[in-house]
Amino acid sequence: MDHNKRYEICFSKEKDLGEFLKEAKGLNYSSFVFFEINDVLDIGEIETDFRVFKGIEIHKKDIGDIKSDISTYRSKVDYLAVKARDNRVKEVLSKDKRVDCLVDCFGRRNDFDYVVAENCKRNDVAIEFNFGKLLRCSGYERSMLVRKFHRSLKLVRKYGSPLILTMKPSTVFDLRGFREFFSLIKSIGFSKEDLIYSNNYFKRLIERNCEFDKDEFVEPGIEKV
């Protein structure tokens, strides 16, 4: 894999995803996941050189509702993430192998802990670090988020939890090239190795999920003949 070629996870407000992808040319991207909140985005047919996938981000508070949505949407998307600010939600979902990523984990309290980090490692559930959110806030809010990024990164590294680094752009103006994005994450303590790991993890994750979607798939290592 060309480590300068990045994926991106997009909450796209653009009506024409084709135009979005045209603007992305030259910025060293290889793949895009387009998602909606609590629904599946209809991507349609797009002519592009990029690999394009569909995802969902579940934003619900009740564990039962979240589990129900996971069951409903898991087979319909290539990428499934869940907003997980509540401690109980984080702990439960970090044990659920159907979940690809926990997002918005860093609330007002430093409540991303070693239990969740260990569970994420054991069950291959990633932790999202959203640098777009970091740029959209300022002052005290930004300084607190940087502190939580630092603390959470230490736990991720200590326990080997998967991580996903993203700008999570909603428009083409939020896209960043590799060098610009690396300069941003480096400025607050992330390394090139973190970025390479994130890229490799995402590639493996998507390939695994696409394999699961095949009709002949039964379970890892077993296929119908």
Domain annotation for the chain: domains and CATH numbers: 6-39+53-214 (3.20.20.140)
What pLDDT is attached to residue 14? 56
Rounded Cα gap, residues 97 and 91, in angstroms: 12
Mean pLDDT highest for which of 35-49, 61-75, 100-114?
61-75
What pLDDT is attached to residue 86? 85
Mean pLDDT for the stretch of residues 18-44: 83
Q: Which residues contact residue 95 at a Cβ distance below 8 angstroms, ignoring those fewer than 6 apart?
A: 119, 122, 123
pTM: 0.88
**Quick one: which of 101, 188, 98, 97 has its CA closest to 142?**
188
**Per-residue tokens: 90:** 């984080």
Instruction: Name which residue leads in pLDDT, 173 or 44.
Output: 173
**Quick one: which of 111, 101, 198, 187 has its CA closest to 157?**
198
Residue 218 has pLDDT above 50, yes or no: no
pLDDT digits 0-9 by tens, 53-101: 999 999 999 999 999 999 999 999 999 999 998 888 999 999 999 999 9
